[in-house]
Chains A and B, each alone.
Chain A
Amino acid sequence: MNKLLQQQIEAVFGSQEVVPEKVGHLLRLVSETYDHYDSDLQRVSGALDLRPQDMMGLYLKLSKEVEHYKKVLREMSEDVALRKEAEERLEQRNQELMKINAELDRFVYNASHELRAPLASILGLITVARLRENDVQKLKLMELMQASVEKLDLFIKDIVHYARNSRMEVEAQVIDFDEMIKDSIAQLRFMGGMERITVSIDIQGEVEFRSDKKRLAVVLNNLVSNAIKYHNPSAEHPFVDIRIMLTEEEATFEIRDNGIGIQQAYVDKIFNMFVRATETQSGSGLGLYIVREIIEKMEGKVSVESQEGVGSTFRFQIPNLSQRRAI
């Protein structure tokens, strides 16, 4: 009788003698099965060269290995996730660079067009001048050449303003607004129609205001000269109202006119590069783009309200940098 089975029978029946005869046969069969199981187990252990007490050690070792591989797997999937993220970032950067490249391309062609157009005009005018004998006619051609040269010069100046704004640090100088506006208007006194336009200046607030003098002058020159350039010649009283409100924190500017206004379709695009909202040739297409770039560089914001035939109002705020220095 198998030893284990014997122990189990004794545990149940007290002794083997009381086991009924009929069950005895069954028990012998069960005993054989137990024996087979034991010998199988011995064979397996023998083959693995393991003793039962080794089993626990093996189990521990295996579970450690399982833990290790789980960790490796986890790290690998983290690696994969990281790599995927890096690949996505790379792809995004690539898209951005392609966009910048396309913009740069567009800029170069647009800028070259703006630079070549006045030169082509001058070349054309020279060809025309060769056909002319008359000095008075030649003088007229020279005036047109001068207009083309001035246009080219204006464009180059605008490009320089643009480049300077993107490179130079924002400075914090004390601003005399009255002087700045008057300077700006003095520069514009030869513009067409200026004598008919009433320009009013209203400055409120008595605080020391610091900002970037050069940048602010470019912004004001652009906005005021636009208001004058695009005045409505058929208006009875063309005006440009300049209002400045100063506080410890910021300056708010409003340049309002009753000029020709901006077509509705162009109001949202007016600050974009190379956008011109009039049909006939005018500025460089950079003026208001530079205005927005400069104001944003000074951490301010700019907006426009305009109605065709009624007028335009440009508003912008810039922070007072004396405040910031005190902090």
Chain B
Amino acid sequence: MKPKKFLLIDNNEIDNFINVTLLSNSGIVEDVNSVQSASEGLRHLAKVVDQSDKVPDVILLDLGMQIMDGFGFLDEFVKLPAAVSQYTKVVVLTSSIDPKDKLRSKSYPCVIELMEKPLNIDRLRGLIG
């Protein structure tokens, strides 16, 4: 599998640290960035939208964020230029076990899966490989 570019969006600093570490050790990463809010994530994407070598292949998205939650992010994400919204795949990574969250996540075509925390690298590899 060709190493991929990741963007992590999670307001929990500890979880970002864990996921960056696990990804960096997994051998599936070309580049990994982490941000602590949905709006920061959108700003990051707006910056790289014209640089195809920097557009992330995969976004790991937390749901339970304040001000703008994961779904708020997805609503904005689908409006982004096709270079991002049609290209980047989203994996929702959450500690929610509410079936409604799963259903709602799956209603976005860009979301390929909802995974429960903590991040399981082998499962992720299977999903994006």
Contact = CB atoms under 8 A, between A and B. Distances in A.
Contacts of B15: 120-121, 124
- Looking at chain B's contact residues, is the secondary structure mostly helix, strand, loop, or mixed? loop
- Looking at chain A's contact residues, is the secondary structure mostly helix, strand, loop, or mixed? helix
A256 interface: no
Interface stretch (B19-27, B43-51, B76-84): B19-27
**For the side of the interface on A, what is the size category?**
20 to 34
A93 interface: no
B36 A121 contact: no
Interface residues of B, number: 30
B86 interface: no
Interface string B14-41: 1101110110010000000000110110
A144 B95 contact: no
Given A112-B97, A117-B64, A147 B39 contact: no
Contacts of A116: 95-97, 117
A279 B37 contact: yes
B66 A120 contact: no
Contacts of B18: 121, 124-125, 127-128
A276 B37 CA distance: 13
A279 B98 contact: no
A125 B18 CA distance: 6
Interface string A274-303: 011111110000000000000000000000
A124 B25 contact: no
A109 B14 CA distance: 22
Contacts of A2: none
Interface of B: 11-15, 17-19, 21-22, 25, 36-37, 39-40, 64-68, 94-98, 100, 116-119
Interface of A: 109, 112-113, 116-117, 119-121, 123-125, 127-128, 131, 144, 147-148, 263, 275-281
